[in-house]
Structure 1
């Protein structure tokens, strides 16, 4: 006699069969695979050496199923939902680090500015081998996130391995409330401003609009640098609205998926604003998703000069789909396309001006401890990443003299503008470009 759980799964398969009725072969294959899964689960329950929590095993199977699709699809427990809401609302408690899984190893993508991870010197490409002594090899990405986060004031010890190190090192960090200050502005010289966006969250567009209004109360804005370096993305609608602030018409981005509801075109609106000043957008390998949408739209409409190094290359859209028990799945449902119709998936955006970051390293750093170009992670390095369906050329090669990721983290700590411009050659080059455009405009003869 079949196990009751097996009968239940077979019943679900039969009830769902109309979904697959358009293709008889697919229907039979799906039924066969579900039956195999049910048989394996039954054997585990009958013969495994210890008692098995069926719910835990099935959740693990769901997690594995989603992780096999692409790096950004995942199962989310009710607790994960709450964490997601915290992150997009503007703060969470933890050590402040973006992580991913690369070649099966938990890997740091970028520390959040001013966070414990940033102050401790964690660098992009660092491999996180253990969290509180527990090996991360078998952890899912969401499990690792939950272990790194926790109550403010509590400690977490991570074991990291860096390219060039002979041995691992333990770092003990104290968790803090990590406020995600999305927007930071700075007047570099009279009339020339830098607007840095660290990620796209619920308040980003409002904060930038307030910053632009504040600028307009001063002498005329002569140029703006939009700094999207190490911006991993965030909310799609906020990225679209930010691009809309600087465009009066045309397509900002379009999304295409299997579902008709995913076939969406986002267009710019003329709201009567006068944000027509010259612009330079700074990007690097840490600029992903939402920041690539903004940079791609401004580049295709020739609204701004894009300067820096090739971006991460995440050109996919994730949708949160709830499940009856309060959990849900984050599923890749579409790819997005720039106004010119091209996809940047796994290729990234190539700047108009390729300018690697060349800040000097301190004498205390040894060659074995400084980050190397091959530690820079992009979408194409992630397992199961989606292929680009609009580009046939090979991915852009790394540029000789590629920026050291740790150097970018250091320059973000500099508060003095003169020192910042001296250390940050990308920011300095962008300012020179804006000053040149301003000077050229002034020299043009006025039309009568």
Structure 2
């Protein structure tokens, strides 16, 4: 009876193998000959049959095939995966821009589930999660061997529900737990502020959604009389390629911004700047760190290669590959790497990232540099407080408070040495420009 079952299994799978032979292009231009492809398919079908008949737990044929596909995709690279019905639906939800989760972008780095960046203002950000944190456990369950889609699925959930992630952070003695409450993730992708006592525009881009170019363009035009622009891409995990190209094009008038190269030569593309899309010649400083990935690396790397801005901060994440979602049917799909990005100089950002022109690690500005300024700031704040007590002369309106929210105070600047370096760089660039 057992032999009959095995014979039936082999016969059934052999039928599948024949179907696969017709489905696969045996004349495709690869290093494999037609006969070697057939031998490989025979081996594959034999493995399926063996698992179906001999594995300790009973699995359906569909389950075996799904696991085989998932294993194939996860072994291609860290960003390719098989998307079952749940993962496929989760991706659709994410693209709508609002979902219940933690507010972190994760990726696989050296085989470990790693935080690319926390999204500003989200539960994970408020809980202190940082870029390059390694997530060892999710609610007590190990992440060893987990796929990216499985990890994302486990971290998502209904708003206001708790989750515990166990983190290993470089420099810490041992892993530690972080308690987070899920929430609806709504992201303000672009906002602008002025810097107190400085005629400089601070432009923050948190992720590359569909609004980035239009919003950034609006803010730059509103502040066209400033002395320079600080573009903050720290902890920006990326997003839409066309928005990265469009944002870069606001600062440059010509040249290749980024190129996409893959195995299929017909898919190779160059994204070039258009002269009429450039809107400013103002001096530019760009802030990046280890949480700046993908589209952020394209913008910072292109501006660096095109000599348009000074890049400040830490080495970026190093994700320079192109993934597309390929539906298998209405419920399942593949996320697959099809190409890699290359910057104007021809270098790739995959794994290596973008190295800043000025490497500045996060921290406070040393006391000897800010001692006088802090006293001056404290004095100014004290005088403003005293003046506000005189009701007949000064009344703080809602509008003035709103305006204050659009200003970065000097106390914040001196707690952020990367930002302070960017401000100083803008001043130097202006001095250099005026001296020519």
Which bin holds the TM-score, normalised by the shorter protein? 0.7 to 0.9
Corresponding residue to 1:194 among 197, 202, 205? 202
Q: How big is the shift at 1:431?
A: 0.8
Q: How big is the shift at 1:360?
A: 7.7
Tell me, in whole angstroms, the C-alpha distance in 2 between the residues paired with 1:272 and 1:64: 44
What does residue range 209-220 of structure 1 map to in structure 2 within 5 Å? 209-216=217-224, 220=225
1:128 is matched with which residue? 135
Tell me, in whole angstroms, the C-alpha distance in 1 between the residues paired with 2:97 and 2:30: 46
1:178 is matched with which residue? 185
1:310 is matched with which residue? 315
Tell me, in whole angstroms, the C-alpha distance in 2 between the residues paired with 1:170 and 1:294: 34
SS in 2 for 1:319: strand
Could you state the TM-score of these two structures normalised by the residue count of structure 1? 0.79
Corresponding residue to 2:416 among 404, 410, 424? 424
For the 8 Å contact 1:13–1:31, the answer to whether it is kept is no
116-125 or 425-434, larger mean C-alpha shift: 116-125
Tell me, in whole angstroms, the C-alpha distance in 2 between the residues paired with 1:163 and 1:24: 42
Distance 1:433 1:297, change over 3 A: same
Tell me, in whole angstroms, the C-alpha distance in 2 between the residues paired with 1:140 and 1:419: 43
Tell me, in whole angstroms, the C-alpha distance in 2 between the residues paired with 1:251 and 1:164: 40
2:350 is matched with which residue? 345
Q: Deviations over 1:107-141 (max 9, x none)?
A: 33332222212222223344333323333224211
Q: How big is the shift at 1:94?
A: 0.5
For the 8 Å contact 2:248–2:257, the answer to whether it is kept is yes
1:411 is matched with which residue? none
94-103 or 13-22, larger mean C-alpha shift: 13-22
* Count of matched residue positions in the alignment of Structure 1 and Structure 2: 390
For the 8 Å contact 1:249–1:270, the answer to whether it is kept is yes
Corresponding residue to 1:39 among 42, 46, 49? 46
Q: How big is the shift at 1:176?
A: 0.3
Corresponding residue to 1:203 among 201, 206, 211? 211
Is 1:359 aligned to 2:351, yes or no? no
Q: How big is the shift at 1:359?
A: 3.2
Q: Deviations over 1:293-339 (max 9, x none)?
A: 11122112211111222222222211221112432111111111111
Is 1:277 aligned to 2:282, yes or no? yes
Tell me, in whole angstroms, the C-alpha distance in 1 between the residues paired with 2:25 and 2:166: 50
SS in 1 for 2:115: strand
2:291 is matched with which residue? 286
Q: How big is the shift at 1:428?
A: 0.7
Tell me, in whole angstroms, the C-alpha distance in 2 between the residues paired with 1:284 and 1:169: 23
1:438 is matched with which residue? 430
Is 1:237 aligned to 2:245, yes or no? no
2:393 is matched with which residue? none
For the 8 Å contact 2:131–2:291, the answer to whether it is kept is no
Is 1:149 aligned to 2:165, yes or no? no
For the 8 Å contact 2:194–2:407, the answer to whether it is kept is no
1:366 is matched with which residue? none
For the 8 Å contact 1:111–1:122, the answer to whether it is kept is yes
Q: Which runs of 5+ in 1 are unaligned?
A: 362-413
2:22 is matched with which residue? 15
SS in 1 for 2:349: coil
What does residue range 87-106 of structure 1 map to in structure 2 within 5 Å? 87-106=94-113
Tell me, in whole angstroms, the C-alpha distance in 2 between the residues paired with 1:168 and 1:22: 48
Q: Which runs of 5+ in 2 are unaligned?
A: 1-6, 367-405
Corresponding residue to 1:333 among 330, 338, 356? 338
Larger helix percent: 2
Bigger relative contact order, structure 1 or 2 (CA pairs below 8 A, ≥6 apart): 1
273-282 or 7-16, larger mean C-alpha shift: 7-16
2:329 is matched with which residue? 324
2:121 is matched with which residue? 114
For the 8 Å contact 1:6–1:35, the answer to whether it is kept is no
2:273 is matched with which residue? 268
Tell me, in whole angstroms, the C-alpha distance in 2 between the residues paired with 1:240 and 1:96: 25
Q: How big is the shift at 1:443?
A: 5.6
Tell me, in whole angstroms, the C-alpha distance in 2 between the residues paired with 1:24 and 1:118: 48
Distance 1:17 1:88, change over 3 A: closer
Is 1:73 aligned to 2:80, yes or no? yes
SS in 2 for 1:423: coil
Tell me, in whole angstroms, the C-alpha distance in 1 between the residues paired with 2:67 and 2:238: 28
Q: How big is the shift at 1:157?
A: 2.5
For the 8 Å contact 2:99–2:185, the answer to whether it is kept is yes
Tell me, in whole angstroms, the C-alpha distance in 2 between the residues paired with 1:261 and 1:25: 22
